A and B are shown apart, each in its own frame.
Chain A
C-alpha cells in the first residue's frame, strides 16, 4: 500500500469522530471542532447524514431484539441463593457507588429518563385525581399503602405508548405506578392483595402479552 493509498484508507482526525458526534458522546471541545468542520466541508456533512442513518438503524435493530425472559432472572437468583453466605458490606458499597455513577448517564439516556420522569408525574397526578374523584372523602397513593400488599412487577412500556394507553392499562389492571423509571422500567403494583405464586405468574404473562408492554417481571 502506497502512502497515498494509506491516506485515502485512513479516516481524517475529524472524520473519525463523526460517529461519536452523532451519538452525542464527544466532549464539548471535540463537539465544537466537529461542528465547525461540518459547517465548512459539504463532503463531511454528507457523510455525517449517512452516519445518522446508520445510528438510527442500529438502534432499531437492537430495540427489535426484545428482552430476556424471566428465566434469566430466576436462574440468577437461584445461583445467588446457592452461593456461600457473605458479608453484605461489599454490595452496600457497590450500591453507594452506583448511585454516584448515575450522573454519568449519556445524553440520550438522560433525555429519555427525563421524558419518562415527566410521564410518571403526569400519570401520578392523573391517578391521584381519579382517586379523589372516586372516593370523595380523600385519597390514598400506592406508596402510602402497606408495601406487602398487591403484586409488584417491573414493567417496561413501548416508547410510542401514549399517555391514554398507559392510563387505560393501569385502570384495566387496577394497577398503580410505585416507582421508576429505572432503565426505562416502572415498578407497578397490581391490585391490593398479594396473589399466590401461580396466579402472579399468570398475571405477569398476561401483562407481558399486552400490546404496549415490552417487558414485565415480578419483583418485590
Chain B
C-alpha cells in the first residue's frame, strides 16, 4: 500500500484539489480514496491502468464531497479561492505575463471543464481513459474538451489576450 500511495498520492491529491479547491478537503479525500483501494483491492480486474482507476474513485468522492456542501457556501468559497490564490486576468495582463493569465483562466473554468483539461493535459489520459473516469461517451470527451478550450479562449479574450484561435 505504501508503494502504491507513494507512486500515486500526489497526482490524486492534485486532481482532488482542482475539483474541491480546499486543501484540507483534498487531503481527507486521498485517505478515503486509498482506504477504498485497500478495501476493494480484490475487485480491481486490471482492465485499466491503476491511475485511471484511482482518478475515477477520486472524482466520485470529490463530487460527493461537493454535493454535501450547500451551493451558496460553495460559490462563496470558489469566489474566495479565485481572489485569494492569484492575480485576476486583468492584473496578469498588466504584468505582461501571458502564462500567468492563462493559468488564472484555467482556474476559472467550470468543474466539468477543469477536470477534462487536467485529465488530458496533466494526467495524460487517452480519450478512452477519460471516458471511463468521467463516465461519458468518447465523442463527448472530445467535444467537451473542445468547448473547454473555447471557453478558455473567451476568458483570455476578456482579459485582452488574443491567441489566434478560435
Seen from chain A, the residues whose Cβ lies within 8 Å of a Cβ on chain B are 10-11, 15-17, 19-20, 22-26, 46-47, 50-51, 53-62, 64-65, 67-69, 71-73, 75-76, 79-80, 83, 89-91, 93-95, 97-98, 100-101, 104, 106-109, 154, 156, 182-185, 215, 219-220
A interface SS class: helix
Select which of A72, A76, A79, A97 is within 8 A of B44 by beta carbon. Answer: A97
**Whole-angstrom CA separation of A56 from B99 in the bound complex:** 9
A50: B residues at CB distance < 8 A: 163-165
In whole Å, how far is B95's beta carbon from the nearest beta carbon of chain A?
15
Q: Quote the shortest CB–CB distance from A147 to chain B (angstroms).
A: 14
- In the complex, the answer to whether B146 meets A94 with C-beta atoms within 8 Å is no
**A54 adjacent to B152 (CB under 8 Å):** yes
Of the candidates A54, A89, A156, the one whose C-beta lies within 8 Å of that of B121 is A54
The answer, among A26, A57, A69, A76, for a CB contact under 8 Å with B99, is: A57
Of the A-B pairs whose beta carbons lie under 8 Å apart in the complex, a sample of 9, sorted by A's number, is A16-B146, A23-B121, A50-B164, A60-B103, A62-B14, A67-B13, A75-B27, A79-B31, A94-B44
Whether A94 touches B42, Cβ cut-off 8 Å, given contacts A25-B125, A57-B106, A58-B122, is yes
The answer on a CB contact under 8 Å between A182 and B6 is: yes
Contact with A along B19-31 (1 / 0, CB 8 A): 0000100111011
Given contacts A57-B99, A80-B35, whether A183 and B8 have CB atoms under 8 Å apart is yes
Please tell me if the beta carbons of A108 and B124 are within 8 angstroms of each other in the complex: yes
Asked if A59 and B122 make an inter-chain contact with CB atoms under 8 angstroms apart, the answer reads yes
Name B34's closest neighbour in chain A (CB-CB). A76
Tell me which residues across on chain B come within 8 A of A69, comparing CB atoms.
Answer: 27
The reply to whether B6 and A23 form a contact with Cβ atoms under 8 Å apart is: no
**Which residues of chain A come closer than 8 Å to B125, judged between CB atoms?**
25
Which residues of the partner chain A approach B96 to less than 8 Å between Cβ atoms? none
Q: Is B110 an interface residue (CB 8 A)?
A: no
Which of A26, A57, A104, A154 is within 8 Å of B6, CB to CB? A154
